[in-house]
Amino acid sequence: MTTYLFYFLSFLAIMFALMVVLSKNPIHSVLYLVLTFFAIAGHYVLLNAQFLAAVHIIVYAGAIMVLFLFVIMLLNLNKETEPHKSLWLKGMAAVASGSLLVVLVGSLKNAGQMQAAAPYNGSIGLIENLGQTLFHEFLLPFEVASILLLGAMVGAVMLGKKSIK
Amino acid sequence: MQISINWYLLLSAVLFTIGVLGVLFRRNAIIIFMSIELMLNAVNLLLVAFSSYLSDSKGQVFVFFIMAVAAAEVAVGLAILMSVYRNSKSTDINSLNKLKG
């Protein structure tokens, strides 16, 4: 059952990710990317990371993709204004990324079989364990992340202003 | 854990490659941004898979930090794109060749 769910979610994720790249209309790309994120959130649930799945949906599908959607609608991008590369460049892009995939898969094929941790702990994805790790071992990076977000906010406001006096 | 970690490695490699394909394939800067998000998510998925596989919650905490960095990157990147659009009236990356001299 879990295996079939894994295959189904993987199929959905790869399908929608390809549609993000290949669809002509930028709005459709955004919507397909949201669907890709939902498939990845399904993978997180499958991996016993329930809290991360919820955060993933809230942050990515709820915040980041809405930001993308706003910008695309604000700039009024649609199928007609969409620039396209020449067919030759598109072919070369496909060849280049195909070779990258071949190299990655080839190197992963020789990777040894890894053994799972002996006493499998299914509760590490719960909020209690994550909070313990985050606020004990990663307290300094957590605080630095808040400074990063503040800097990004100030930078976005500065860049978004019409003119800086 | 019924699913081998190798399947997650393969899935992440494929998703990452689709992200690379998107960066090379498209000329619209916003689509290129979305492809970068796709690549970040491929890495996130692999981190969660390994964290769950090794019963170690550090991997999932790293995913939180990647999400924070991705959110900051998108906010600044989209603001830059807005100002580029205001100057050149398009988000085509081929029009961004003013530094060529």
pLDDT for residue A74: 87
pLDDT for residue A125: 77
pLDDT for residue A164: 59
Nearest CA in chain A to B77: A156
pLDDT tens per residue across span B23-76: 998 888 899 999 999 999 999 999 999 998 888 888 899 999 999 999 999 999
3-state secondary structure of B28: strand
Q: Taking CB atoms and an 8 Å limit, are A6 and B3 in contact across chains?
A: yes
Q: Which domains does chain B have, with CATH numbers?
A: 5-90 (1.10.287.3510)
Q: Taking CB atoms and an 8 Å limit, are A148 and B9 in contact across chains?
A: no
List, for chain A, all residue ranges whose pLDDT scores fall below the cut of 50.
none
- Residues in chain B within 8 Å Cβ distance of A125: 52, 57, 60
3-state secondary structure of A56: helix
Which residue ranges make up each domain of chain A?
1-80, 124-165
Q: Taking CB atoms and an 8 Å limit, are B78 and A82 in contact across chains?
A: no
The CA distance from B82 to A53, in Å, is 31
Q: Taking CB atoms and an 8 Å limit, are B20 and A100 in contact across chains?
A: yes
- Residues in chain A within 8 Å Cβ distance of B67: 55-56, 59-60
The CA distance from B98 to B92, in Å, is 13
pLDDT for residue B101: 67
pLDDT tens per residue across span B12-23: 999 999 999 999
Task: Count A/B contacts: CB-CB distance under 8 Å.
Answer: 218
Q: At what angle do helices B29-53 and A2-22 cross, to 10 degrees?
A: 160
From the list A60, A83, A156, the residue facing B75 with the nearest CB is A156
CB A130 within 8 A of CB B11: no
From the list A52, A129, A156, the residue facing B76 with the nearest CB is A156
The CA distance from B17 to B98, in Å, is 30
- Residues in chain A within 8 Å Cβ distance of B46: none
Instruction: Name the minimum distance, in Å, from the CA of A165 to any CA of chain B.
Output: 16
- CATH fold, domain A1-80, is Four Helix Bundle (Hemerythrin (Met), subunit A) (1.20.120)
Q: Which long-range CB contacts under 8 A does A21-24 form with residues at least 24 apart?
A: A21/B18, A21/B21, A21/B22, A21/B25, A21/B26, A21/B31, A21/B35, A24/A79, A24/A82
